[in-house]
Structure 1
């Protein structure tokens, strides 16, 4: 099964579930059962995405890797020549590099893997400084419906956007002052994705033309940031390449997917260990050239972020704290009436309007730390039992 066929199968799944009224956030056992019963080709992608949306970061990565079972036992290596080349670059703080370079750019494209919430957290970390550098528009591939002046995203805003960190990205952008817009095509033409790439680019280009003095940040998936030749040949050109062609603007393209950790350690790129940093890095040489993705002479992506392997505290990824901008929200065990339990924190007045939880966690017993990670503010805490019935709800203030 080709990546393209898997992509269209997953796209069909997304459109199908979007038409159903069902629970959005699931217990891990239910997702695992659905995977076991699913015989479709994209089942691992579907399950990985569901794990991601429901807050199971590591399970999302591990499940995605199961598509490559034959490769899992093979440790990733680099050639001596590639190692020497890599060592000619030095690690710099990825956020600092992007913010500094953004001052002379008008259009930034940064990608994500749709099952990896870490990528959304990193984009969130850029927003305040990019706004200070003149960026006013944030385009999201995953957004289905115009927010139309809404103060926060809702369940119907998209599929991937129902994931907490994606919801936080959108909420943060709105609060800062960004105009958040969707640019996905509404045309359904089965031509291998060529029309989709073209229409996405046209939709973004239209807004750029209407706001010629504004700066734009585009957050998209995978190879849509390719300025040259994408891996999916039926595209001919990816969205980024077509956007550059239409607007005449050379975009600053940033990849987050090639050198992110996998669920299975043996699948991790050796470059993660070779960079050997505890923060996201971009490799830069003495000529101010950046290290990028494989076959970059064809893809023409400006740079690649090397994310370090996640460290966990109380079973939560360390990067969720957003460099300590977010706080620990501890739930009193007396609030949990039965186990297992799903505990979700909604910004005040958002739950009643189908908002996205700021964070959620599954609890199996009262021995596990009930730590949610959120920004300061007032939250409505919703606790559901295994039948998805609300057993407790209360308000808690995080100072």
Structure 2
């Protein structure tokens, strides 16, 4: 049944001098509400494939779950009236500050097969409430862009310009657009703290499930979920990825020779053995797989004995350019320090290094044409500046290989060796995985010489079966969250994050949670192990709605 909806601005934003009648002619339909979970952003580009629409926003817009509207939106009444048609809600993080709403109204049935002209017009320019409303329609469906300034402004010039740019970019057909990729999703949400929300975006993405796409999804999703090694999805992904390789090395290590090597090792002494070997080197290079926090736990354990052996620089590949000096000043990383360093175990690695007196060095340049060359040059610079320097280099995967198959494939370690004449001690904890019972096993690489599927161009291999635990760093205790909001989400998964109160007050959205967990609400409560202290607790759902924000004290 055809419905005619008439609203005035008095209904939308209260009693204002200007009254403008907006008349929507639609057939009621929940298509938009049902499909807004498929909103995706590639930088400033917006897509919704099921709805077949796209457009462009500005880079400083932060997007929120629809439930966030109930927490202070100045046009809440308008939203309540048009809930089923609201597609996007966001706020700018830079001047001009405003709330942004994108509505889409679709007719259920096309009344004409004739191609209709697309028209765009401004419906409202309210200079008292600083609100503008634009419409773009093809007669079958209509976009509405509503922008409401946050705070009072002398004119609407800025929001008029932005609203016009956004409405003009909106398209009713995205066939001509490039296909969405998992890398687009990762890049769009890499600054988002809610890993549950990002996982949901990956899982619902309208992307073909071919081998290449699935491999990309695995790498990115595993990295996203590595902040919570207890989460079942993370464990499943790692198990699937390593299954064949673990089986191969399990068979290899079951040989008599390997068993003798294993039996001759005292697990607790391996860290000290590495430190002893390192004292005859100026540079120790240890690698990591970026989605395996246990590698960071080992690096953490090495810090104190290495410091005692004279190592005073911790060179980290994962830092953004220029962030090392800021970390050395504040003694801990924040969100802008780097992507991988936000993971709690990496965060604690850096904090421990600072407390022990290491100087943190960022040596990578992600934008360079030859990363390996630049990394080697930046490490050489430390030696040139400080001839007594001893450097602990914490690198990614293959950067520590000391020999390449050809000149064009030389890695950082080999180039560093050529440029400085120094032979780094290289330890690989990525290459070999196994289900051996011991937490750590340490081998000279020559023990695997000639073994298929093993790159022996390092000094040592280390099998790392550490189970990451926050008890490694903190005095932890069981803590139960009981709040009335949990009754409304019984049985649902939520993201629970704890921020150190002092740091959160100072750095807010740039803070790194000391611990985050994806937990299911059971019996209206959530129980987990956390450190003792004063924290700011946040709970978010898979749609990125903030369900709970509160200060807590854990004794």
Q: What is the RMSD of the two structures over their aligned residues, measured on CA atoms?
A: 3.4
Go from structure 1 to structure 2 and tell me whether the alpha carbon gap of 1:15 and 1:104 turns closer, same or farther (over 3 Å shift): farther
- Of the three residues 154, 157, 162, the one matched with 2:342 is 162
Residue pairs, 1:1-399, within 5 angstroms: 17=186, 23-27=192-196, 31=199, 33-35=201-203, 37=205, 38-39=207-208, 40=213, 42-53=216-227, 59-64=233-238, 66=240, 72=244, 75-76=247-248, 83-89=255-261, 90-93=264-267, 94-145=270-321, 146-147=323-324, 148=326, 149-189=329-369, 195-229=370-404, 235-260=408-433, 269=434, 272-273=435-436, 276-277=437-438, 279-283=439-443, 291=447, 294=451, 299-308=456-465, 310=467, 317=468, 319-322=469-472, 325-335=473-483, 337-338=485-486, 339=489, 340-352=493-505, 353=507, 354-366=510-522, 370-374=527-531, 377-386=533-542, 387-397=544-554
User: Higher mean Cα deviation, 245-254 or 86-95?
Assistant: 86-95
In 2, the alpha carbon distance for the partners of 1:253 and 1:33 equals 38
SS of residue matched to 1:333 = strand
Go from structure 1 to structure 2 and tell me whether the alpha carbon gap of 1:110 and 1:81 turns closer, same or farther (over 3 Å shift): closer
The answer (yes or no) to whether the contact 2:479–2:530 under 8 Å persists in 1 is no
Task: Describe the superposition over 1:158-200 as per-residue Cα deviations: whole angstroms up to 9, x where unpaired.
Answer: 11112111111112212222111111125443xxxxx211111
In 2, the alpha carbon distance for the partners of 1:188 and 1:16 equals 24
In 2, the alpha carbon distance for the partners of 1:116 and 1:380 equals 27
In 1, the alpha carbon distance for the partners of 2:476 and 2:368 equals 44
The answer (yes or no) to whether the contact 1:52–1:163 under 8 Å persists in 2 is yes
User: Higher mean Cα deviation, 344-353 or 56-65?
Assistant: 56-65
TM-score using structure 1 length: 0.75
Q: CA deviation at 1:244?
A: 1.2
In 2, the alpha carbon distance for the partners of 1:81 and 1:381 equals 45
SS of residue matched to 1:111 = strand
SS of residue matched to 1:172 = helix
Q: CA deviation at 1:117?
A: 0.8
The answer (yes or no) to whether the contact 1:57–1:117 under 8 Å persists in 2 is no
In 1, the alpha carbon distance for the partners of 2:352 and 2:233 equals 26
The answer (yes or no) to whether the contact 2:498–2:536 under 8 Å persists in 1 is yes
The answer (yes or no) to whether the contact 1:228–1:299 under 8 Å persists in 2 is no
In 1, the alpha carbon distance for the partners of 2:336 and 2:551 equals 25
SS of residue matched to 1:257 = coil
In 1, the alpha carbon distance for the partners of 2:452 and 2:386 equals 34
Q: CA deviation at 1:253?
A: 0.8
SS of residue matched to 2:312 = strand
In 2, the alpha carbon distance for the partners of 1:131 and 1:156 equals 27
The answer (yes or no) to whether the contact 1:136–1:214 under 8 Å persists in 2 is yes
The answer (yes or no) to whether the contact 2:446–2:456 under 8 Å persists in 1 is no
The answer (yes or no) to whether the contact 1:107–1:217 under 8 Å persists in 2 is yes
Q: CA deviation at 1:239?
A: 0.8
Task: Describe the superposition over 1:65-94 as per-residue Cα deviations: whole angstroms up to 9, x where unpaired.
Answer: 6568xx759943667798244234232432
In 2, the alpha carbon distance for the partners of 1:58 and 1:116 equals 15
In 2, the alpha carbon distance for the partners of 1:176 and 1:66 equals 38
In 2, the alpha carbon distance for the partners of 1:169 and 1:143 equals 13
In 2, the alpha carbon distance for the partners of 1:246 and 1:296 equals 29
Task: Describe the superposition over 1:267-287 as per-residue Cα deviations: whole angstroms up to 9, x where unpaired.
Answer: xx3xx42xx32x322147xxx
TM-score using structure 2 length: 0.56
The answer (yes or no) to whether the contact 1:291–1:303 under 8 Å persists in 2 is no
Number of matched pairs: 350
- Which entry has the higher C-alpha Rg, 1 or 2? 2
In 2, the alpha carbon distance for the partners of 1:96 and 1:280 equals 12
The answer (yes or no) to whether the contact 1:151–1:174 under 8 Å persists in 2 is yes
Task: Describe the superposition over 1:5-41 as per-residue Cα deviations: whole angstroms up to 9, x where unpaired.
Answer: xxxxxxx9779855767522322x7515514524435
In 2, the alpha carbon distance for the partners of 1:113 and 1:343 equals 25
